[in-house]
Every structure is written in C-alpha cells, then in structure tokens.
Homo-oligomer: A and B are copies of this chain.
C-alpha cells in the first residue's frame, strides 16, 4: 500500500546527452553570441577552442573561485556590462565546469537582466524575474547542478543556498568527453557525491515513486561504474555522467537528507571535499534507515543484487577505501572533542528532518562516533 499524500514534480530543463555533443553546442543552444563562464583549465583546452569556434562571438570569464563569493559574481556583471558598452552583445550564457562554475553561471544569467547585487537576492530582499537563455555543461559527474534550481554562494564567509525558478537552465548538455580529464581524486569525490544524491533521494521522506525509480537506476549505475570511473576508463565515465545527472534530477525534487546535513560542518571545518564528506556517514545511515523503512530498503538491495543491507553498506565502505580515502574522521584532522560541535551544526540543516526516523542530536553524535 502506498502512503504518499501529496507531491509535486517539476523539472523543465532539457537534457541533451551525447559523446562529442559539446562540439555542436551552438546548434543545440541555437544562438550565436555567447558569454561563457568556465573553469580556467577548460578555457585552455583544445576541445573548448574547437567548440567555441562555431559561435560568432564568445566572451569568456574563467576566473572562477570555488564556493563562489557574491562579490565575484557581482564583479562578473560589471565586467560584462563594461564589455557591452564596447559593443559586445550576448544572446545567452553558457556555464562549463563543476558545481561552483555552474552555480555562478545561473546567478550571472539572471543578474544581467536584474538590478542590484547578488547578496540582495541571496538574502531574499529581491527576487529574480528573468534571465538570459542559459545552457549548463558539467565537467564533473557529481553535483547535478545542471538540473537543479539551486545555487550556493558565499556571503561574508558563509555558504548559503538559494533557489529560484530562474535557476532552471534551458539546456543541460552532458558530454562525457569533458569528464575524461578529471583527475582520479576529483572523479572519486564527485562520484561519491552522485552516489549520496541517489541514495538520499531514494530514502528521503519527501520521495515518491518518480524519484524512487530514478534513484534506483542511478544507484545501480554508480555502483557498477565507480571503480572503473576512478581508474579513468571511458565507458565508466560515460555511465557516471548519465547517472550523476539522473541523481541530480531525483534530488532536485526531494532535496537531500542527513548525509548532506552532516557533511556541511565536516567540509567547512576540515576542508574535506563535499562528496567525500557526504559519503563518510552514508554506510551508518544506510544501516539506520533500514531500521525505519526495511521493506523499501530491501527493494533497493534486491534490485542492486546484494545479499542484505549490510552487504550494501560494506560495499560503499570498500569503494571509499578503493578511492584511497580513510573511513575515519580522525584521519581528516577531526579531534574527538569536536564531534559534539559537528553534530550540533549538522542539526541546523533543516534537510536532516527528511531522513527516515528523523535522527536527533544524540543519533548524529552516534553516527560520528562510529566513524571517528
């Protein structure tokens, strides 16, 4: 018997997937004069230059900082406005890179047609009403930012998420060739992010059959291709680029849960990569969740062809270790005395309540102790 009472589904982004599609991005986007926001290593690649040669005019901003500060976004707007005074005109904006770059591009596409500074929108004083045509092209397989309406920006040193209907891109172009150059460590941490998105959107209390189906399929693909992705095999990077995108569509509807909530302080205080910080508590949370929704978790275990839930949790621990990472917080510079602070900051993220069984402070502390 099914227990969902009410839900909504909405994701208007058109996804185009294909090996080599980046080269004909101009046809897919359908415009000639573009502003491109990208990572610096993208802008110097031959693949980028070849793709961009198809446009009539291209203006590139490639000085993206991670965890994009509001001031950087405002600065891009100033630079672009200056260039427009010199006669350049943009019909649309393209973002090419990881999560920070895609989030920056979302804000740029909206701010170029709006008044004021990004901080005013981030703080809710103003709302975006329009944006330029927007195409997002990920170069990692993890964040799913290309298919969400969320952007995360840093204001006064603090990371803050915002959602806007203007942040749904027109097109998410997934060309796995762009992910072939990911270093092993980036492939591992972003892959763990995608895995966490998939599993969290499967079990979230906000899930429903649409997102469950996507999460099932994405989890299977990620587990099948994770090791080979890290090892740089192209077939696996193709699979992972699809799976991360699907996991992104799933969590664009459900949001994430405790693994993400607990990752925030681990990343902020100890500079642990986002996907890795998420995955560290995932095995404990899989066991916890099983206590609360055993039938549903068993359906996942059966589909994934594991013996039982513990078998799944152990596989994830093995994958983290295969990627070269420790399973223990102590190895990331965490002191035992810090665990209470990590737990209490985790509890501030409201998404923690979307976890089955609603873990409380003491439960989170227990998860942390188990992996200390």
Seen from chain A, the residues whose Cβ lies within 8 Å of a Cβ on chain B are: 1-2, 4-12, 14-19, 21, 208-210, 212-218, 221, 225, 235, 238-239, 242-243, 246, 249, 299, 302-303, 305
Contacts and interface: CB of A to CB of B under 8 A. Distances in A.
A214 B2 CA distance: 16
B213 A216 contact: yes
A241 to B, nearest CB: 10
Contact of A217 (B1, B209, B305): B209
Nearest to A14: B10
Contact of A239 (B2, B7, B10, B235): B2
Contacts of A19: 5-6
Nearest to A17: B7
A218 B17 CA distance: 24
A146 B208 CA distance: 18
Residue with the highest number of chain B CB atoms closer than 10 Å, among A9, A15, A235, A299: A9
Contacts of A216: 213, 216-217, 303
Given A216-B216, A216-B217, A242-B208, A17 B8 contact: yes
B2 A238 contact: yes
Given A2-B235, A6-B18, 19 more contacts: A1-B239, A4-B17, A5-B18, A5-B19, A6-B16, A8-B14, A8-B16, A9-B249, A15-B210, A208-B242, A209-B217, A209-B218, A209-B243, A210-B214, A216-B217, A299-B303, A302-B302, A302-B303, A302-B305
Tallying the copies of this chain within the complex gives 2
B1 A235 contact: yes
A14 B9 contact: yes
Contacts of A16: 6-8
A217 B210 contact: yes
Contacts of A242: 2, 4, 208-209
Contact of A9 (B8, B15, B210, B217): B15
Contacts of A2: 221, 225, 235, 238-239, 242
A232 to B, nearest CB: 15
Residue with the highest number of chain B CB atoms closer than 10 Å, among A235, A242, A249: A242
Contacts of A17: 4, 6-9, 208
13 contacts: A1-B239, A2-B221, A2-B225, A2-B235, A2-B238, A2-B239, A6-B19, A6-B21, A8-B16, A8-B17, A208-B242, A209-B218, A213-B214
Contacts of A21: 6
Instruction: For the complex of A and B, list the 9 residue pairs with the smallest distance between their C-beta atoms, beginning with the closest.
Output: A213-B217, A6-B18, A12-B12, A213-B213, A9-B15, A10-B14, A303-B303, A213-B214, A2-B239
